Structure 1
Amino acid sequence: MPHLIIEYAKNLEEKISVAALVSSAQEAMRRSGLFASHNIKTRAKSYEQFIAGDNGNSFIHAEIRLLEGRSSREREALSSAVFNSLCQFAEGVPAVSVEVREMDASCYSKRVPF
């Protein structure tokens, strides 16, 4: 577990390597020391239709979903690390954001590998 979901404006695909963006954010999660690297699940989704403020012709947003139990300081440091990794790819991108969400473990189900 955790899940890192990166959403971005499709027009960024002409300017950046999405694979490198995903890899960099995954590495920031790993370097946090909060998770075993084999448990981090990272994915990206592009959007063609969006409005990102008055002057926003592009955006990058990451949502980090965690099970409960991390301290506020740990969540803040994780958010900052992922934000900094995204900003490396965000020259000229007016909207870059990261959100950390805690999930209720009693409501989370997953398949365990055989």
Structure 2
Amino acid sequence: MPHCIVEYSQNLAQEVPPDEWLEAVKKGCLESELFEESDLKLRAVAYKTYMTGGQEDAFVHVVVKILEGRTQAQRAMLSEQVLHQLTLLAVKHISLTVEVVEMELATYSKRVVLD
């Protein structure tokens, strides 16, 4: 179920291809043991224009959107697992952040359209 959105500074694409960032996020989610691989939805968005503290510093920010119902401890562990996997890519001079966001079940809608 989780929607994992990897936002990153475009300059990183030369150092680490976007699919490697997605793979790291996937591993973190699976290591949390909260989700099945078939439930993961992953996507990456590169930012051409960005600033951190007034400078163009490289960054990766991951938003993991999950349906409500997990404990705060589970959400914190998920965040740490994803962050750990990102750090294994061994990129220097980068800001890595992970945010777990709960979606309200009452306001979340889904429909899969086939054909």
1:98 aligns with 2:105: no
- Determine whether 1:81 maps to 2:70: no
Contact 1:4/1:42 (<8 A) preserved: yes
Unpaired runs of at least 5, structure 1: none
Q: Summarize deviations over 1:48-73 as a string: whole Å, max 9, x none.
A: 00111245521000001010000111
Q: Answer whether contact 2:29 2:81 (CA < 8 A) is retained.
A: yes
Q: Alignment identity in percent?
A: 33
Q: Which amino acid aligns with 1:19?
A: D
How does 1:26-37 map onto structure 2 within 5 Å? 26-37=26-37
- SS of the residue corresponding to residue 19 of structure 1 reads helix
2:42 match = 42
Please, what is the CA RMSD of the aligned residues?
A: 1.6
Which of structure 1's runs of 4+ aligned residues deviate more than 3 A? none
CA distance in 2, matches of 1:36, 1:48: 33
* Deviation of 1:85 (Å): 1.1
Q: How much does 1:86 deviate?
A: 1.3
TM-score for both structures, normalised by structure 2 = 0.90
Which amino acid in 1 is paired with 2:98? V
Shift of 1:113: 6.3
TM-score normalised by the chain length of structure 1: 0.91
1:10-29 correspondence to structure 2 within 5 Å: 10-29=10-29
Shift of 1:111: 1.1
Q: C-alpha distance in 1, partners of 2:101/2:22?
A: 19
Alignment gaps of 5+ in structure 2:
none
Residues 104, 96 of structure 1: alpha-carbon distance in 2 compared, 3 angstrom cutoff: same
Cα distance between partner residues in 1 of 2:2 and 2:52: 27
Give the residue type in structure 1 aligned to 2:81. A
Q: Which amino acid aligns with 2:42?
A: T
The amino acid across from 1:76 in the alignment is A
Equivalenced residues, count: 114
Deviation sequence 1:6-49 (CA, Å, 0-9, x none): 00000001111221121121121112111121011011110000
